[in-house]
Amino acid sequence: DGGITQSPKYLFRKEGQNVTLSCEQNLNHDAMYWYRQDPGQGLRLIYYSQIVNDFQKGDIAEGYSVSREKKESFPLTVTSAQKNPTAFYLCASNNRGPGETQYFGPGTRLLVL
Amino acid sequence: DQQVKQNSPSLSVQEGRISILNCDYTNSMFDYFLWYKKYPAEGPTFLISISSIKDKNEDGRFTVFLNKSAKHLSLHIVPSQPGDSAVYFCAASIQGAQKLVFGQGTRLTINP
């Protein structure tokens, strides 16, 4: 059955370390997104991609990087430049076009040791 | 600046009664609005949406109302059930822009 998978469910990062969060979808969606959720706050857009090999910065892209080499995959790297990486990270996807609902994966919680 | 605001961080409602969750927005260019429901440690799930050409959309127990002049939307859940206890996010977009802007969320608790 179709859906969005994110792995791992929990991830620990040491100071100065880069970590990569995985997001895979088999919904044949063109567009994919990465959001960050902090306690008491809404979801904030980090990066999004509307087509393979193309992506745009969202509202809080500093300290993050992405790639979109395949339609079904949109990994997010949290670099050592991200000073406050502890958060719940959510990946979403949808088809391009007006009114297309975004569907979310189960999320990855990143903790700094 | 917070373009989408949910001013009530929490709401407690008795089972069987109506739950009303509110959302305000500031950007008059928004023309598509959505409500998502989120359980702890899970991704949000889509509930219901409304286009700015409508003022009401209904799906079972869920109804969304849009007041464009007041830049306000609300989600009504009738009757409220224990499984409705979750955090509810409203989101807005400009059709064709792909990006969603989310509110801070309201934690709804349904009491037996």
Nearest-angstrom CA–CA distance, A101 and A107: 18
Q: Which residues of chain B lie closer than 8 angstroms to A94, CB-CB?
A: 98
DSSP A49-103: EEETTEEEE-TT-TTEEE--SBTTB--EEE-TT-S---EEEEEEEE-SSTTPPPE
- The per-residue pLDDT for A73 is 98
What's the rounded Cα separation, in Å, for the pair B36 and B94?
17
Rounded Cα–Cα distance for residues B50 and B52 (Å): 7
Residues of A in contact with B42 (CB under 8 A): 106-107
User: Residues 6 or more apart from A59 whose CB is under 8 A from it?
Assistant: A44, A45, A46
Structure tokens at B19: 């739950």
pLDDT at A71 over 70: yes
Does A85 reach chain B within 8 Å, measured CB to CB?
Answer: no
Residues A13-55 pLDDT 10s = 888 899 999 999 999 999 999 999 998 788 999 999 999 999 9
What are the two backbone dihedrals, phi and then psi, of residue A13, each rounded to the nearest 5 degrees? -120, 135
User: Cβ-count burial of A28 within 10 angstroms (0-12 exposed, 13-18 middle, 19+ buried)?
Assistant: exposed
- Taking 70 as the threshold, does the pLDDT of residue B93 lie above it? yes
Percent of chain A whose pLDDT exceeds 90: 76
Q: Which residues of B touch A45 (CB under 8 A)?
A: 99-100
Helix (H, G, I), strand (E, B) or coil at B11: strand
Tokens of A21: 């969060």
How far apart are the C-alpha atoms of B36 and B48, rounded to whole Å?
7
Residue range A50-72: mean pLDDT, rounded: 95
Closest partner residue to B46 (CB to CB) among A96, A101, A106 is A101
What integer pLDDT is reported at residue A41 of this predicted model? 82
Sequential DSSP letters for B35-83: EEEE-TTS--EEEEEEETT-SEEEETTEEEEEETTTTEEEEEESS--GG
Residue of B nearest to A34 (CA): B99
Helix (H, G, I), strand (E, B) or coil at B84: helix
Report, as an integer, the average pLDDT of A70-99. 90
